[in-house]
Structure 1
């Protein structure tokens, strides 16, 4: 029996529900492997980074090394703005960009940028796992992208170097780094602040040298990227959701044998549940770590302060309604109302 037949026989056993056997890597010739380069821009020890590693390890075990997922974190291969072309050209096979970064090609994805759209993660997951996102996935095929899953980073918080941010007036005159999104720029415009889009891997240096003096991000990114080393104030606002779209090249995915694609998709569903659980756990643990280290002053918004900010930012919904049509925005509002 040839080496290739051995591997295909193993895949057949896996799909038949049998337990995977331990296969010596030497049984799989490198020329016969399916290699998937998975590129992303955050640290390995973030929810996304850990999930990518877990996905790679499980796929390797479940295919006996026939599929090798190579994970490249921290913009090692491509930065924001470069990775989509890399996916199209086949230089990489998987990405997990933030939803905001899809908005330059697909404005509808700015739905996830709407301020105070989700009162809790359960509400966000209702949207992520529902028909609306499936429709957005269909639109991705225009660029030969295939949406595979939605992962969490968590809720965004504000950091800055000037003062605690509790009221809308506190934002005036600040310069925030944001991801590419007209909604995010409009959000800070309503607050009287300036906003500049910037690749994620440039943010630390920009905060350090004062190119910008503020940013919004999840606790895991603030902690793992050491943003708190050059920021004086953190406001726990939960004002925006940050999620990731796990993408592949549609043509590449079609080229994979169906039985192998099924293993990958089943594993990804399992890892998605795991990733969301880790995101919630890490958010809490790393917030405790920030409090313990005491290098950044942490402000907790009262319910009244949160409602005041939410009211100030309501016009952003109207802006997005004009850009993509009111139907999609209203559908988000209905999901939001059910979660309140």
Structure 2
């Protein structure tokens, strides 16, 4: 009798143990359902995916384009296809003037506009357009990680935008069709395309030139038809958009910074699961380090290619020539100080007038 009771007890214990294992397995699988998707992409149905449309206006092989593609690939891998970032380069979805409205409407979920394009909504962002304000890119990175950068990024949320990362393109150079640009007087009477920033308009006005804000995707045509005589841009943009084929002169001035803010819609971001937000942030942080190094490498390599091709005459400026331009551009500092406050301008460059 005791043996039968013992055997029954063992059976009962085994059953309870089996049920416990099954129960714990179900709980673990439920809690790690997202991880299961990471393991097997095929388990993700199309109607379960989170789709993020990432629109930008530069070429796919520009530093921004390469970084956006890298970001999309890594996110797909790290979420097993649960999050799909679809990249639309070269204004294939929206032009410069249309992107912000598309983000607000939810037609796209991510953008990477140049900082200058935020200045219409947030005048303080013109700080980053000041000519010869920054000695190097590291200075700008530290600035954006400090109190000034935090203040600028916080302003974006008043328009339901969240800044997730800052990507470099590099320093801008001058191109034009009329003559080499070396001294301030060389700019007189010329017409330049600029991004929509009053600082950039003031910059050219200070040396007797005219500035015409226009969308990036219209610049090539404007240069080819003579609507404008020149423009300012990084080497990678000049090369990938083939501006060197319609411009005769390139001046390596390194006079202004061109960077991008990776943006998303706040409401969309808040709708994402916390683990997805973490994957996106962590991946962006990793890609940002890669993008900054890649932008430097791409600009250097493509300048060598343009020099070898010889389609555009390249002018190198001496430190004294850069200093003369910097002095000529000082009215842009004064005008911005009147608009946003002298203390804020000086926080970017303590020695600013």
Q: Give the TM-score category using the shorter length.
A: over 0.9
1:206/1:212 contact within 8 Å kept: yes
Question: Which of 189, 192, 198 does residue 182 from structure 1 map onto?
Answer: 198
Q: Distance in 2 between matches of 1:7 and 1:224?
A: 48
SS of the residue corresponding to residue 81 of structure 1 reads helix
Q: Distance in 2 between matches of 1:39 and 1:31?
A: 22
1:276 aligned onto 2:299? no
1:192 aligned onto 2:208? yes
Distance 1:8 1:302, change over 3 A: farther
State the 1:334 CA deviation.
Answer: 3.1
Question: Which of 319, 328, 333 does residue 335 from structure 2 map onto?
Answer: 319
State the 1:21 CA deviation.
Answer: 5.8
Larger Rg: 2
1:46/1:221 contact within 8 Å kept: yes
2:269/2:277 contact within 8 Å kept: yes
Per-residue CA distance 1:33-55 (angstroms, 9 max, x = gap): 10000000000001100000000
Alignment of 1:159-238 (within 5 A): 159-238=175-254
State the 1:129 CA deviation.
Answer: 2.3
Q: TM (normalized to structure 1)?
A: 0.93
SS of the residue corresponding to residue 139 of structure 1 reads helix
Give 5+ residue unaligned stretches, structure 1.
14-19
State the 1:119 CA deviation.
Answer: 1.2
Quote the residue 2:111 is aligned against.
95
Question: Which of 301, 307, 317 does residue 323 from structure 2 map onto?
Answer: 307
State the 1:128 CA deviation.
Answer: 2.3
Quote the residue 2:32 is aligned against.
9
Distance 1:169 1:64, change over 3 A: same
1:257 aligned onto 2:273? yes
Question: Which of 100, 114, 120 does residue 104 from structure 1 map onto?
Answer: 120
Q: TM (normalized to structure 2)?
A: 0.89
Per-residue CA distance 1:168-191 (angstroms, 9 max, x = gap): 000001000000000000000001
CA RMSD in angstroms, aligned pairs only: 1.8
Q: Distance in 2 between matches of 1:171 and 1:321?
A: 24
State the 1:12 CA deviation.
Answer: 4.9
Q: Distance in 1 between matches of 2:324 and 2:350?
A: 21
Quote the residue 2:172 is aligned against.
156
1:145 aligned onto 2:161? yes
Q: Distance in 2 between matches of 1:134 and 1:8?
A: 35
1:155/1:240 contact within 8 Å kept: yes
1:7/1:64 contact within 8 Å kept: no
SS of the residue corresponding to residue 36 of structure 1 reads strand
The 4+ residue runs of structure 1 with deviation greater than 3 A are 5-8, 10-13
Distance 1:146 1:21, change over 3 A: closer
Q: Distance in 2 between matches of 1:208 and 1:188?
A: 21
State the 1:125 CA deviation.
Answer: 1.5
1:10/1:63 contact within 8 Å kept: no
State the 1:132 CA deviation.
Answer: 1.2
SS of the residue corresponding to residue 235 of structure 1 reads strand
Aligned length: 326
Q: Which deviates further from its counterpart, 121-130 or 294-303?
A: 121-130
Q: Distance in 2 between matches of 1:21 and 1:101?
A: 37
Q: Distance in 2 between matches of 1:327 and 1:140?
A: 21
